Amino acid sequence: MDINVELLLGTKVRDVDGTGVGRIEEFHVQRDESSCRVDAYLIGASAVIERLSAWTLVRPIKKLLHSRKLLTVYEVPWQDMDLSDPLHPKLRTAKHDLRHVK
């Protein structure tokens, strides 16, 4: 299935039970000569903090949010994402089964 992934950024994601998980904030991709394939999605209200944490000024904010258990970012393998309706992505697993990103 070919989808313009940039259109998925910021899209709300629900799990298999209909529970809100967060928004798609980033993609991990594999690139070859003729295409790019998504390996995983970073999902969560604070996935953007994870992405920006490479900047020195954001690291203390990330540590504070993490220490207060407010930093919730999930890495979802491509095969666990149902994009049959790209406007309403849905996970094939439950939220409690997702892997947290450090």
Q: What does the H/E/C string look like for 73-95?
A: CEEEEHHHEECCCCCCCEECCCH
- pLDDT of amino acid 91: 97
Give per-residue pLDDT as tens, 42-98: 998 665 665 666 666 666 766 666 665 556 789 999 999 999 999 999 999 999 999
The pLDDT value given to residue 59 = 66
Kindly provide the residue ranges of all beta strands, DSSP E only, lying in 6-56, ordered along the sequence: 12-14, 20-31, 36-43
CB atoms within 10 A of CB 24: 22
Is the Cβ–Cβ distance between 20 and 94 less than 8 Å?
no
**pLDDT classification of 101: cutoffs 50, 70, 90:** confident
Which tens digits make up the pLDDT trace of 8-43?
A: 988 999 999 999 998 898 889 999 988 888 999 999
pTM of the model: 0.73
Question: What is the residue extent of each domain of the chain?
Answer: 5-100
Assigned CATH class of 5-100: mainly beta
